[in-house]
């Protein structure tokens, strides 16, 4: 191909802008070239306290990349992705070229429609269990190289998760630098623009700590209560074989593909990494769930 039309650029950029991102920082930028589109991470959107290693920034870029790929498919292009790890362009995350033409599938059209419907659902879900529904939905997830989606459902696993989330909530609630950063990235409105920080609704104490963002005023329930609530949600841990730059991007792609697939199936969900910023929480999860890889994020799904 040689060049993108204005309409194509608009659709691709709009899809990226609707992707979830850590603290709604939207830490990416697209650059359109005749032969390809480059996705860059925006280092000026760093969160030094919450995300000192930039892991969440790259997971966010992975989510945006998944949206870009879907937009290209809906435009009838067959995308080819090259994930970048090049010292001369350290902030370039991916190059996406259009290498052919093909009609989008129904699944791709459904996922693309889900881009605008997706929102972080931090509230509790309806009481209906959804193990069967979710397992059917997961069959439709194509998956991303090497990324594992680990269901967390055994009572002993849920109990361990509750202990770790409780611990991280207590630590982060008392971390003044962390709280200052979160306050700075909280928009004064319920529906902030892309890149303008998290919704003011996340300030409410009613959003429980495993599903929301722990603030100074967040009431932290006891471990038994937490375990009971978690046991009624469908929990998926995204893990990667290694813990490098490309693993983080792929984790974001896999998470977003899964999230869009569940939204297309009428479910709601949210994504958490906040507790994973504590080393002991990641290490504790690896041990309690006998993971072979590195836990990157937790997805929770349910009926809205």
Ligand X SMILES: Cc1cc2nc3c(=O)[nH]c(=O)nc-3n(C[C@H](O)[C@H](O)[C@H](O)COP(=O)(O)O)c2cc1C
Which residues of this chain interact with ligand X, rule CB under 6 A?
20-24, 56, 59-60, 63, 119-120, 122, 198, 212-213, 270-274
Residue nearest to ligand X (CB): 20
> 264: which 2 tokens?
């297309």
Q: How far apart are the first and last CA of the chain?
A: 42
**Shortest reach from residue 168's CB to ligand X, in Å:** 10
Cα distance between residue 176 and residue 216, in whole Å: 9
**Shortest reach from residue 208's CB to ligand X, in Å:** 10
**Shortest reach from residue 59's CB to ligand X, in Å:** 4
Backbone angles phi, psi at 32, to 5 degrees: -90, 125
Q: Which is nearer to ligand X, 17 or 109 (CB)?
A: 17
Whether the CA torsion 215, 260, 265, 114 is positive or negative: it is positive
- Find the helix or strand (DSSP H, E) in which 95 lies: strand 92-101
Q: Which is nearer to ligand X, 23 or 245 (CB)?
A: 23
**Shortest reach from residue 157's CB to ligand X, in Å:** 19
Residue (of 232, 303, 298) closest to 266 by Cα position: 303
**Shortest reach from residue 103's CB to ligand X, in Å:** 29
Locate tokens 């696993």: which residue?
A: 157
**Shortest reach from residue 119's CB to ligand X, in Å:** 4
**Shortest reach from residue 22's CB to ligand X, in Å:** 4
DSSP type of residue 242: S
Q: What is the 3-state secondary structure (H, E, C) of 157-170?
A: HHHHHHHHHHHHHH
Q: Which is nearer to ligand X, 271 or 289 (CB)?
A: 271
CB-based burial label for 112 (10 Å; 0-12, 13-18, 19+): buried
CB-based burial label for 3 (10 Å; 0-12, 13-18, 19+): exposed
Q: Which is nearer to ligand X, 12 or 298 (CB)?
A: 298
Strands of the sheet containing 234-240, edge to edge, are 148-152, 234-240, 294-302, 268-272
């Amino acid at each position: 191909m040689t060049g993108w039309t204005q309409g194509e650029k608009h659709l691709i950029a709009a899809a990226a802008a609707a992707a979830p991102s850590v603290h709604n920082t939207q830490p990416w930028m697209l650059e359109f070239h005749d032969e390809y589109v480059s996705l860059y991470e925006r280092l000026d959107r760093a969160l030094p306290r919450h995300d000192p290693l930039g892991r969440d920034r790259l997971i966010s870029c992975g989510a945006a990349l998944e949206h870009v790929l879907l937009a290209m498919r809906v435009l009838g292009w067959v995308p080819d992705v090259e994930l970048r790890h090049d010292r001369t362009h350290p902030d370039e995350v991916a190059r996406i070229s259009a290498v052919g033409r093909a009609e989008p599938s129904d699944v791709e059209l459904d996922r693309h429609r889900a881009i605008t419907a997706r929102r972080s659902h931090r509230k509790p879900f309806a009481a209906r269990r959804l193990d069967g529904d979710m397992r059917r939905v997961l069959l439709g997830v194509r998956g991303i190289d090497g990324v594992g989606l680990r269901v967390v459902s055994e009572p002993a696993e849920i109990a361990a998760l509750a202990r770790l989330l409780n611990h991280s909530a207590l630590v982060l609630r008392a971390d003044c630098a962390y709280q200052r950063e979160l306050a700075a990235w909280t928009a004064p409105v319920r529906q902030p623009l892309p890149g303008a920080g998290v919704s003011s609704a996340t300030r409410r104490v009613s959003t429980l700590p495993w599903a929301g963002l722990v603030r100074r005023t967040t009431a932290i329930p006891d471990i038994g209560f937490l375990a009971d609530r978690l046991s009624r949600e469908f929990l998926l841990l995204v893990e990667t074989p290694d813990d490098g730059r490309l693993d983080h991007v792929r984790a974001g792609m896999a998470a977003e593909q899964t999230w869009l697939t569940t939204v297309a199936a009428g479910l709601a969900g949210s994504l958490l990494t906040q507790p994973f910023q504590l080393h002991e929480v990641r290490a504790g999860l690896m041990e309690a769930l006998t993971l072979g890889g590195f836990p990157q994020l937790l997805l929770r799904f349910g009926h809205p």
